[in-house]
Chains A and B, each alone.
Chain A
C-alpha cells in the first residue's frame, strides 16, 4: 500500500510537468481516437453491409446503366430471393455543400432488402402509395429541419431539372452503424420524368440489389447472375455488398493509409514525451531509489515505483483523452455534416487507446528503471537533486 501511495504521490510531485505530460497524452489519445474514428467511418458502409445482399452493376463501370429488363431474368436465377434496383440521383439540396446520398429506388423491394431502415407500417405504406414522396434518415431530417409533409426540391445533376419530393417518412437505424443520412425516393417517378425529357435514358437502372436466399450461396448467385448476361450488350458485375462498398473505400486507400500512419506517429511522439518525462524523473530520484535499495528494497520494488508512476501518468492522460474523444467526435461529425453518415467512437478504438497508453507507460519506464538498477547504491546516494 505504501509503495502504491509513493508512486501516486510521486506522479504529482512536479504538478506542472505532470500536468503538461498528462495533457499531451490526453491530446494525443484524443487525436488518435478521432483519426481511428475517421477510418472507422470510412469503413462504416462496409461494416453495415449484409452478407446476403449482392450488388449488380455494369461490368464496364458503375456509371454505365443496365436495362430494367434484367430484373426478371435475375429473379429467375437460383438462390435469388428479392431483386430491387435503383439509381444514384446525385441531386443537390440548395447548395453543393449540402451533400448527402440520394437514390431513386424501387421502394417496396428496397425496404424489404434493408430491414435496418425502421419505419412504422403506416409511414411505410404512405411512402409506397405516393410516387412523389421520399423518406429520409433521422439524422438527415434533423440536420435540415425537415418535417413530414415538407416539399423538398433537389437540383438534378445527372438528371437535370428541379425535382420536387414530399417527405412521407423519417426512418431510424436499427443499429448504431446504420446510415441515417439517406434520401430515398421512387425510381418510377424518376423514370416517368426521364421518359418525358430524354426518352433514350428511360428504363435504365444504375444498379440491382439482390437478396440471396442463403448468405452461403452469395458467391454462387453472383456467378450465376453474371453468367446470365455474358456476351450481352451490357455485361454485369455482381459482388457482395461488402465487396462493392470496399471498392469505394479502396479508392481512398491512400488517404486512409496516411491517416493510419499519422495516428501511429502520434503514439510514437507521445512515447518520446513520456519517456523524456520519466528520464528526468529517474535522474531526479536517483538518490531516493538508492535510499530504498540501501534500506533493503530490491530491484523489483524500484521497478514497481518507476513503472507505477509512468503508468499512473499515462493512464490519467489516456482517461482524459478518451473522455474528450466523445464530445470531440460529436463536434467533428457536426462539422463535416453528412460526409460521414456514421461517425461513432467504436469500443475497439477505446481498447486501442488503453492498449497504446499501457504500452507507452511501460516502454517509457524501461530506460529509467534500467539506469536505476544499474546505478550502484553508493553512487546513487551521492546524487543530489
Chain B
C-alpha cells in the first residue's frame, strides 16, 4: 500500500522538565512522520511523554529543541499570537474530560471555535448544526453539559473539534473518563471521522481497545519512541 504524504513531520524533538534543580528528560530526539489521513495511536506507560508529544504537535507546548512541521508550517518557529491563530484553524482538540464550557449549551460550545473565524452568524449556525448531526446530537443542541451524559459530552467535544474542519484532530485519552459502552461509541465515531472524512487523527490512549482502531500505534517509553505492531502492544 502506498504511504500517504506526510502532514506532520517531527524532527529531533526533545523536551525536558525541571523539577527543582533536577532536569527530567521527557522526549529524547524524537523523529517521525504522520501521513495525511492516518490514524495514529500513541501508547506508553504514565510519564512516558505521550501527552507531552501530543501537546507539542497540537502547538500548546514548546519543545526544547527540534522542529514540528504541520502541513509544511514549522509551528515551533511561530510566535504565540500566530500559533494561537494556527491552532484555531488547523487543530481540533478532544480532551479526556471533554473540557466543555458549562455555562454554554451544546450548540454554543460547538460554535465557540467559529467565533474566531470571519463566518457570519447564519453560516456559523449551519456549521454547528452539521457538526452536531455528525455526532448524532442534533436533538440535544440546547442542552447544557451538565444535562448530558459523559458520552454525549464527549460527542459535543468532538463536534467542537471538527466544526472548523481542522487539518489534524488530537485526542488525549478520549475514552479515559467513559464507561465501556460510551467509550466504544466514541471510538466508533472517531474511527468514522477518519474513514469517512479522511481526518488525520493523533490519539493518546491507555486503552488497548481504543488503540485497535488506529492504523499505526507508536509506543513511547522513557522519552524514546518505538515502532511497534499493534499485536506487540495489544
Contacts and interface: CB of A to CB of B under 8 A. Distances in A.
B108 A2 contact: yes
Interface string A289-329: 00111111110000000000000000000000000000000
Nearest to A376: B61
Interface stretch (A6-14, A134-142, A221-229, A274-282): A6-14
Contact of A291 (B58, B88, B91, B99): B99
Interface in A23-44: none
5 A-B pairs with the lowest CB-CB distances in the bound complex, closest first = A296-B88, A9-B103, A377-B60, A291-B99, A378-B61
Interface stretch (B32-40, B110-118, B135-143): B110-118
Which residue among B52, B103, B108 has the maximum number of chain A CB atoms within 10 Å of its CB?
Answer: B103
A25 to B, nearest CB: 22
B104 A2 contact: yes
Interface residues of B, number: 29
Given A293-B84, A295-B88, A297-B84, A378 B102 contact: no
A5 B105 CA distance: 11
A287 interface: yes
Contact of B99 (A10, A288, A297): A288
A319 B86 CA distance: 42
A178 B52 CA distance: 73
B73 interface: no
Given A291-B101, A377-B60, A3 B115 contact: yes
B101 A6 contact: yes
- Among A2, A13, A293, find the residue whose CB has the most chain B CB atoms closer than 10 A: A2
Interface of B: 51-52, 55, 58, 60-61, 81, 84-89, 91, 93, 95, 97, 99, 101-104, 108, 111-113, 115-116, 160
Contacts of B84: 293, 296-298
Contacts of A378: 51-52, 55, 60-61
A3, A5, A294: which has the most chain B beta carbons within 10 Å? A294
10 contacts: A13-B102, A288-B99, A288-B101, A295-B87, A296-B86, A296-B88, A297-B84, A297-B88, A376-B61, A377-B61
A10 B103 contact: yes
Given A295-B112, A295-B113, A296-B116, A6 B93 contact: no
Contact of B103 (A6, A292, A377, A381): A6
Contact of A381 (B88, B95, B108): B95
Contacts of A381: 60, 95, 99
Contact of A298 (B61, B81, B91, B99): B81
Given A298-B84, A378-B61, 14 more contacts: A2-B111, A2-B112, A5-B103, A10-B103, A287-B99, A288-B99, A291-B95, A294-B87, A295-B113, A296-B84, A296-B88, A296-B89, A296-B113, A297-B116
Nearest to B170: A294
B182 to A, nearest CB: 20
A381 B94 CA distance: 12
Contacts of A10: 103
Instruction: Name which of A10, A294, A296, A297 has the most chain B CB atoms within 10 A of its CB.
Output: A296
B173 to A, nearest CB: 12
Interface of A: 2-3, 5-6, 9-10, 13, 287-288, 291-298, 376-378, 381, 384
Contacts of B108: 2, 5
Contacts of B55: 377-378
B148 to A, nearest CB: 17
A285 to B, nearest CB: 10
Contacts of B93: 291, 294-295
Contact of A6 (B52, B81, B104): B104
A384 B89 CA distance: 27
B103 A13 contact: yes
A64 B4 CA distance: 108
Contacts of A298: 81, 84
Contacts of B99: 287-288, 291, 381
Contacts of A295: 87-88, 93, 112-113, 116, 160
B89 to A, nearest CB: 7
Nearest to B161: A295
A194 B160 CA distance: 94
A294 B101 contact: no
A376 B97 CA distance: 18
A241 to B, nearest CB: 59
B24 to A, nearest CB: 15
Nearest to B55: A378
Contacts of A377: 55, 60-61
Given A13-B102, A381-B99, A296 B85 contact: yes
A298 B82 CA distance: 10
Residue in A288, A292, A293, A381 whose Cβ sees the most chain B Cβ within 10 Å: A381
Contacts of A292: 112
Contacts of B86: 296
A349 B197 CA distance: 63
A316 B101 CA distance: 24
A294 B103 contact: no
A269 B6 CA distance: 59
A78 to B, nearest CB: 74
Nearest to A287: B99
Contacts of A297: 84, 88, 116
Contacts of B51: 378
